[in-house]
Amino acid sequence: MKTLQAKLSNKKNNFVPYIMAGDHERGLEGLNETIQLLEQAGSSAIEIGVPFSDPVADGPVIEQAGLRALAKNVSLSKILDSLKSIETEVPLVIMTYFNPVYQFGIENFVAALENTAVKGLIIPDLPKEHEAYIKPFITDKDICLVPLVSLTTPISRQKELVVDAEGFIYAVAINGVTGKENAYSNQLDHHLETLSKLTDIPVLTGFGISTLTDVERFNKVSAGVIVGSKIVRDLHENKESDVIKFIKNAINF
Amino acid sequence: MTYNQPNNQGFYGQFGGQFVPETLMTAVKELEVAYEDSKKDPVFQAELKELLKDYVGRENPLYFAKRLTEYAGGAKIYLKREDLNHTGAHKINNALGQVLLAKKMGKNKVIAETGAGQHGVATATAAALFGMECTIYMGEEDVKRQSLNVFRMELLGAKVHSVTDGSRVLKDAVNAALRAWVAQVEDTHYVMGSVLGPHPFPQIVRDYQAVIGQEARAQFLEKENKLPDALVACVGGGSNSMGLFYPFVNDESVEMYGVEAAGLGIDTPHHAATITKGRPGVLHGTLMDVLQDENGQILEAFSISAGLDYPGIGPEHSYFNAVGRAKYVDITDEEALEGFKILSRTEGIIPALESSHAIAYAVKLAKELGSEKTMIVCLSGRGDKDVVQVKERLEAEKEVK
């Protein structure tokens, strides 16, 4: 079993924060500090966002964070350089749109992840149909390509998506972009329970999670949560202590 | 060999595909099935045909531009008069087809992106005709520049959503429309305006616009008793050009020229010359040639013509370019303005600024080809929408002089 999955399978109430690489006063120089903070607070894994000019799956909070990072000349190649010197016990998961990786060169990209803490990839605009762009390069590596399952994914397709999945399953909790709050449907809990039963791989819930009430709800019906926009906003507003408190509470539900 | 693209995964060679979030995968697959069914549905086809005839005013003429031909001093120039369609451009061909398809799929809402507003107006028109709820996403900058088209869409009953994200132009409007589609995918159809986006959109838009080339081919054969030597059309996303080119794709003797907007010049940062200056990349659900920096961040496009102001180009055009089936050339803002004036004066037809790019290139090409040759130029839209902009620009130039 690859590291990412092993780490998440060990426990319940997994908390996975998302940060935008380079969205820090000191740009990428601040990345290590943020990762250490999130690790110490009790994160199970940390998503590292790569800024993209046209992030169609993201809401305004993450889009703005990406634009701030781009304004500091952050690029995938610089992020990969920074990751080389970052040591953490927590597996990192790169969340990127496909184009920056495609331009970098997929083989080079995977090679650059060697000797970093990166154990997983989330590429929201690379559906199962096109996973062959990446999969052959990571099969023998300790890197997982995390599939996303949405509320519009029919059961038959959910089964196809989870069957050879690795790491964890990213359950998208709303039909919408990241950071859209108060939009959960009544059927969501049932959907998450059903999805969790289809697989032994941990199912983590994400999109729009901003309160401990949300966290408590989804910890009951899945193996944990992914929180992006709230973390990105709080870090941008220098509310590090709020972030730490939130994570500490979240993992105790 | 008969042309047979895209493949069953929506690829044209290396280009195309379905690079969309999982939330949209079910919708694009459902659309594939509904579209294939509609092709075999005689009732659907008859309804669309009747609308194109009685509502759009097809078929429109293939007109021999005698005085333009004399002005150019070379090959005979025919104009395919898409400017005579209802709403004044080719966009209605596709909007009607897709709204009819949406209705057949049981969707009661449509959304669309628009740059200059032509596709927005066409979609709002088709939505009004079918009594469907319609929201148009338009970059805030374009809303300001094209206030008359905003008013038109509102008059037609559409809601115009001004997009304030990113650079606030067409590409941001596409982002916003894609996001809106994700949020309401179950009851909403996204009317993609060009041969762009995830499969099957490039194919659907091509097929609905192919009426341009089908008519033009038959009309030309009737008038000249042979095929034309060349086809010329402007390319932004590339729907009018693909509509003209596609029905000729197996006619190997027919050369195709897609005219990109060179803006202030392809050696400046201000152009929309995607094939000339871009490289393959993924944007808005498809792998195509894209204007981007070395890190894969998408660059802004620039053109005097808002309809050509897009940093990508339909994947099938990228394929045509890669295999050499079509040539892609550039016309600057200045040259397009000249084309605008020349057609107005020689033929009494005021072309859209988009189509003016095709006119300007056709004049150059006619000279090169010589008087034995013939060509069809797609006059994709009329220029009424552009006269204020051109007037202001020409007056400003006069003052400088």
Q: What pLDDT does B307 receive?
A: 87
pLDDT digits (tens, 9 = 90+) for A74-114: 999 999 999 999 999 999 999 999 999 999 999 999 999 99
* CATH architecture group of domain B18-51+90-193: 3-Layer(aba) Sandwich (3.40)
Residue B394 is encoded by which pair of tokens?
């020409």
Contacts within 8 Å (CB) and 24+ apart, A133-141: A133/A98, A133/A102, A133/A106, A134/A101, A134/A106, A134/A110, A137/A106, A137/A107, A137/A110, A138/A110, A141/A110, A141/A113, A141/A114
Tell me which residue has tokens 């950071």. A179
Q: Please name the residue of chain A whose CA is at the shortest distance from the CA of residue B27.
A: A152
pLDDT digits (tens, 9 = 90+) for B232-242: 999 999 999 99
Q: How many CB atoms lie within 10 A of CB A158?
A: 20
Element (H, E) at A188: helix A188-197
Q: Please name the residue of chain B whose CA is at the shortest distance from the CA of residue A170.
A: B22
CB–CB contact A175 B294 (8 Å): no
Residue of A54, A60, A150 with shortest CB distance to B298: A54
- 253 residues of chain A, pLDDT tens digit each: 999 999 999 788 999 999 999 999 999 999 999 999 999 999 999 999 999 999 999 999 999 999 999 999 999 999 999 999 999 999 999 999 999 999 999 999 999 999 999 999 999 999 999 999 999 999 999 999 999 999 999 999 999 999 999 999 999 999 989 988 777 999 999 999 999 999 999 999 999 999 999 999 999 999 999 999 999 999 999 999 999 999 999 998 7
Q: How confident is the model at residue B50 (pLDDT cuts 50, 70, 90)?
A: very high
pLDDT digits (tens, 9 = 90+) for B109-160: 999 999 889 999 999 999 999 999 999 999 998 898 888 899 999 999 999 9
Show the domain range for A242: 1-249
User: SS3 for B167?
Assistant: coil
Same-fold call for B18-51+90-193 versus B57-86+200-398: yes
User: SS3 for B16?
Assistant: strand
Q: What pLDDT does A10 receive?
A: 77
**Distance from C-alpha of B33 to C-alpha of B185, rounded to nearest angstrom:** 16
Cα-to-chain-centroid distance, residue B292? 21
Residue A47 annotated as catalytic: yes
Chain A nearest C-alpha distance from B285 (Å): 7
Interface test with B, best of A28, A98, A108, A125 (most B CBs within 10 A): A125
CB–CB contact B23 A149 (8 Å): no
Q: Work out the burial of residue B344: count CB atoms within 10 Å of its CB; fewer than 13 is exposed, 13-18 middle, 19 or more buried.
A: middle
Q: What pLDDT does B115 receive?
A: 87
Chain A nearest C-alpha distance from B282 (Å): 5
Residue A194 is encoded by which pair of tokens?
């059903």
Q: What pLDDT does A131 receive?
A: 97
Q: What Rg do the C-alpha atoms of chain A give, in angstroms?
A: 17
Structural domain tally of chain A?
Answer: 1
Residues from chain A that touch B17, judged by Cβ atoms under 8 A, are 129-130
B311-325 average pLDDT score: 98
Q: What pLDDT does B99 receive?
A: 98
Residue B113 annotated as catalytic: yes
Contact A74, A52 (CB under 8 A): no
Q: How confident is the model at residue B266 (pLDDT cuts 50, 70, 90)?
A: very high
Element (H, E) at B275: helix B274-277
| CB within 8 Å of chain A, chain B residues 279-308 | 280-285, 287, 290, 292, 294-298
Q: Does domain B57-86+200-398 have CATH number 3.40.50.1100?
A: yes
Contact B31/A at CB under 8 A: no
Element (H, E) at B78: strand B76-81
Strand partners, B1: none
Question: What residue ranges do the domains of chain B occupy?
Answer: 18-51+90-193, 57-86+200-398
Residue B93 has pLDDT above 90, yes or no: yes
**Distance from C-alpha of A117 to C-alpha of B374, rounded to nearest angstrom:** 63
Strand partners, B136: B112, B160
How distant, in Å, are the alpha carbons of A10, A198, A206, A215 from that of A14? Answer: 9, 19, 12, 10
How distant, in Å, are the alpha carbons of A63, A66, B157, B165, B292 from that of B295? Answer: 17, 14, 42, 21, 8
Of A137, A159, A201, which Cα lies nearest the Cα of A6?
A: A201
CB–CB contact B22 A97 (8 Å): no
Residue B166 has pLDDT above 80, yes or no: no
Residue B401 has pLDDT above 80, yes or no: no
User: SS3 for A67?
Assistant: helix
Residues from chain A that touch B283, judged by Cβ atoms under 8 A, are 54, 99
Q: What Rg do the C-alpha atoms of chain B give, in angstroms?
A: 20
For residue A33, the domain's CATH number is: 3.20.20.70
Contact B56, B90 (CB under 8 A): no
Residue B1 has pLDDT above 80, yes or no: no
